Amino acid sequence: MQRMPDLSHSFGRRQVDPQQRRQLVRNVFARVAPRYDLMNDLMSLGVHRYWKRVLARQARQRPAADILDLAGGTGDVARLLLGLGPRVLVCDPGLEMMQVGRARGASPIHWLAGCAEALPLPDASLDLVTIAFGIRNVTRIEAALAEMHRVLRPGGRLLCLEFSRPAAWLRPFYDAYSRLVIPRLGAWVSGNPDAYHYLIDSIRVFPDQRELCTLFEQAGFETVAYRNLSFGIACIHSGTRPSADGG
């Protein structure tokens, strides 16, 4: 079994214990919540909207009645999934992020407080789980993937959109942009350079495309595949809970 770097002790460049990390990540999103969507637009020059639409298109390739957008934050992805099933559930430990999403108006989104590592949902109760830019923030990725597998029905799908490893030719530009531009933007718009240092550092230490496939497989997913977006800056991983896995 391939061992991945243990991220449960890593908060950016700092080594912390897992409980501390969980709290620090929560604080990051509590502080940036009011400006989170604006920052996303500025940092990615709006491209995150395109990545999320690709994720939603992939989700729509198959019917799904019960849908969870995990780490759903302000509900961007959940909104794109409305209509695919009768209701979409957002689950996120960040109450401030979900409050911003709720304030955008009534919609058939259901908001649920909870962590990816201990989902407050019954076994085999969902057809589709999406998670966008969320898994990198989870303290125990293996536990979170096991939970996503548990709550999916046999044949149900997981779609995960996350930053990944860009093509080699792009890396120097991408690194310079990440190091020089993003923390300054974060300081200017949200008053929070530290939160955006965390963002950059968490992307740097996160498993690459192949490593994340391995983690999916180790959690029991099959037909695991990935699709690079914008030359690998972001990536969509997909996997299916096997139809007959005894779980």
Ligand X SMILES: C[S@@+](CC[C@H](N)C(=O)[O-])C[C@H]1O[C@@H](n2cnc3c(N)ncnc32)[C@H](O)[C@@H]1O
Least CB distance from residue 130 to ligand X, whole Å?
Answer: 8
Say how far residue 200 (Cα) sits from the centre of its chain.
Answer: 15
Here the tokens at position 178 are 């990440």
The smaller minimum CB distance to ligand X, of residues 146 and 242, is found at 146
Q: Which of 7, 56, 67, 132 binds ligand X (CB under 6 A)?
A: 132
Site string for ligand X, 133-172 (x = CB under 6 A): xx--xx----------------------------------
User: Beta 10-11 vs 152-163: how paired, if at all?
Assistant: unpaired
Of 57-116, which residues contact ligand X (CB under 6 A)? 70-73, 76-77, 92-94, 97, 115-116
190 binds ligand X (CB under 6 A): no
Q: Where are the alpha helices (DSSP H) in 60-170?
A: 76-81, 95-102, 141-151
φ, ψ for residue 105 (rounded to 5)? Answer: 125, 165
Give the residue from 98, 94, 118, 96 showing the smallest Cα distance to 110.
98
- 32-64 per-residue burial string, b: 16 or more CB within 10 A, e: under 16: bbebbbebbebbbeeebeebbeebbebbeeeeb
Least CB distance from residue 168 to ligand X, whole Å?
Answer: 26
Burial (CB count within 10 angstroms: exposed 0-12, middle 13-18, buried 19+), residue 87: middle
The smaller minimum CB distance to ligand X, of residues 37 and 127, is found at 37
The smaller minimum CB distance to ligand X, of residues 67 and 97, is found at 97
Least CB distance from residue 97 to ligand X, whole Å?
Answer: 4
Total residues in contact with ligand X, by rule CB under 6 A = 20
Binding site for ligand X (CB under 6 A): 25, 29, 70-73, 76-77, 92-94, 97, 115-117, 132-134, 137-138
